[in-house]
């Protein structure tokens, strides 16, 4: 390891699951050594994703304890392990997805690190990568959205939601979004949603039927989960897709499959990482996302950049529905 790389670093780990009190900020964690096929990245920005809260609460089981949370970041490669690192080398500025992000340094499988084009800042790359790729794969793979399609997006002013609004607009689809406040409604409209419904005082199912001439939305992208599943099933058009991709309000309980026959609904429960198994998949989609960002001048909305040691406040804000767009951490 190069001499400029310290032996210890700051980071946030959990030793048990629970509320934000289980997040422990430490300053004496060992800097990881990159193994074969890995690169060591000095993180400049760390992306917060809802999935981080699932690992913290135990909704998703952590692979081991202590466990460093976080799944994406951006920064500079400071060393590389042996083996294939996909032509990435020391000094490259990269955005990456892997485990162990809430730290000053992360050893990242090179397969999931991508050089950041000069036109994109490290701040924007960290803010865009995981949520942007989620939105892109949802509209390409989970349900291939076509020009003119009416699509329903829940939590349209959230991190993934704003990417969905912008990407759907870019491909010519027509977005109906939901959000809890008028401020969020305005933001999602600015980002491409054609019709916004404030579900705090409007009837979502009735509005969707009205807007779509009674047909419903050909695709419903639902990252809210438990509290919206029945509503989503109600809003989907005959032969449409209900893409349930998250649990912000809790996990969706088991579903009776016969319910799908009422409208020949396709029900999917995708995760990004199963669309990103090969280098080719990761490179193609990341390249496309970066191209959308530069060519279509996408708005990279960042709610706040929190100091790493204030991660508990960030989790509280995200789970408290206080945020719009992306939350970043600064190590």
The residue ranges that bind ligand NDP (CB under 6 A) are 49-51, 131, 134, 155, 157-161, 179-180, 184, 223-224, 227, 245-249, 270-272, 318-319, 321, 323
Residue carrying the six token digits 């190590």:
331
- Tell me the H-state helices in the chain: 50-57, 122-137, 159-170, 182-190, 204-211, 229-235, 279-295, 311-319
What minimum distance in Å lies between the beta carbon of 35 and ligand NDP? 25
CA distance 46 to 24: 16
CA angle 5, 7, 12 (to 5 degrees): 105
What minimum distance in Å lies between the beta carbon of 272 and ligand NDP? 3
CA distance 111 to 135: 20
> Are the C-beta atoms of 288 and 29 separated by less than 8 Å?
no
Tokens of 110: 């090179």
What minimum distance in Å lies between the beta carbon of 270 and ligand NDP? 6
CA distance 161 to 155: 6
Secondary structure of residue 15 in the 3-state scheme:
coil
What minimum distance in Å lies between the beta carbon of 235 and ligand NDP? 15
- Which CB atom, from 15 or from 182, has the smaller least distance to ligand NDP? 182
Residues 6 or more apart whose Cβ sits within 8 Å of residue 160 = 131, 134, 135, 138, 223, 245, 246
- Which CB atom, from 196 or from 236, has the smaller least distance to ligand NDP? 196
Q: How many CB atoms lie within 10 A of CB 25?
A: 16
What minimum distance in Å lies between the beta carbon of 318 and ligand NDP? 6
What minimum distance in Å lies between the beta carbon of 129 and ligand NDP? 11
- Which CB atom, from 263 or from 321, has the smaller least distance to ligand NDP? 321
- Which CB atom, from 80 or from 305, has the smaller least distance to ligand NDP? 305
- Which CB atom, from 20 or from 180, has the smaller least distance to ligand NDP? 180
What minimum distance in Å lies between the beta carbon of 238 and ligand NDP? 25
Return the closest-CA partner of residue 300 out of 136, 124, 77, 99: 124
- CA distances for 233 relative to 45, 138, 221, 259, angstroms: 38, 17, 11, 9
> Are the C-beta atoms of 34 and 106 separated by less than 8 Å?
no
- Which CB atom, from 120 or from 179, has the smaller least distance to ligand NDP? 179
- Which CB atom, from 29 or from 327, has the smaller least distance to ligand NDP? 327
> Are the C-beta atoms of 189 and 170 separated by less than 8 Å?
no
What minimum distance in Å lies between the beta carbon of 207 and ligand NDP? 15
- Which CB atom, from 49 or from 212, has the smaller least distance to ligand NDP? 49
């Amino acid at each position: 390891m190069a001499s400029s790389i310290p032996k210890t670093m700051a980071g946030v780990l959990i030793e048990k699951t629970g509320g934000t009190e289980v997040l422990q900020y430490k300053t004496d964690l060992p800097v990881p050594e990159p193994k074969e096929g890995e690169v060591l990245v000095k993180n400049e920005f760390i992306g917060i994703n809802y999935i981080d809260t699932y690992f913290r609460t135990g909704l998703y089981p952590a692979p081991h304890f202590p466990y460093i949370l976080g799944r994406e970041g951006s920064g500079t490669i400071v060393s590389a392990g042996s083996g294939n690192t996909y032509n990435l080398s020391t000094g490259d500025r990269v955005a990456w997805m892997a485990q162990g992000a809430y730290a000053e340094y992360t050893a990242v499988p090179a397969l999931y690190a991508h050089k950041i084009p000069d036109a994109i800042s490290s701040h924007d790359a960290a803010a865009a990568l995981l949520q942007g790729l989620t939105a892109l794969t949802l509209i390409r793979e989970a349900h291939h959205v076509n020009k003119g399609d009416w699509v329903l997006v829940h939590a349209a002013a959230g991190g993934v939601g704003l990417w969905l609004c912008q990407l759907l607009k870019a491909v010519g689809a027509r977005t109906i979004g939901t959000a809890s406040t008028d401020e969020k409604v305005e933001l999602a409209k600015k980002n491409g949603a054609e019709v916004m419904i404030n579900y705090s005082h409007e009837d979502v199912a009735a509005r969707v039927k009205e807007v779509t001439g009674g047909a419903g939305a050909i695709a419903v992208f639902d990252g809210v989960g438990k509290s919206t599943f029945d509503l989503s099933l109600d809003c989907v058009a005959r032969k449409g897709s209900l893409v349930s991709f998250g649990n912000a309000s809790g996990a969706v309980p088991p579903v009776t499959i016969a319910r799908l026959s009422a409208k020949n609904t396709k029900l999917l429960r995708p995760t990004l990482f199963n669309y990103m198994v090969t280098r080719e998949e990761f490179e193609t989609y990341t390249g496309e996302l970066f191209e959308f960002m530069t060519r279509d001048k996408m708005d990279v909305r960042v709610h706040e950049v929190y100091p790493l040691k204030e991660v508990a406040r960030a989790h509280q804000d995200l789970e408290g529905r206080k945020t719009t767009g992306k939350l970043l951490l600064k190590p």
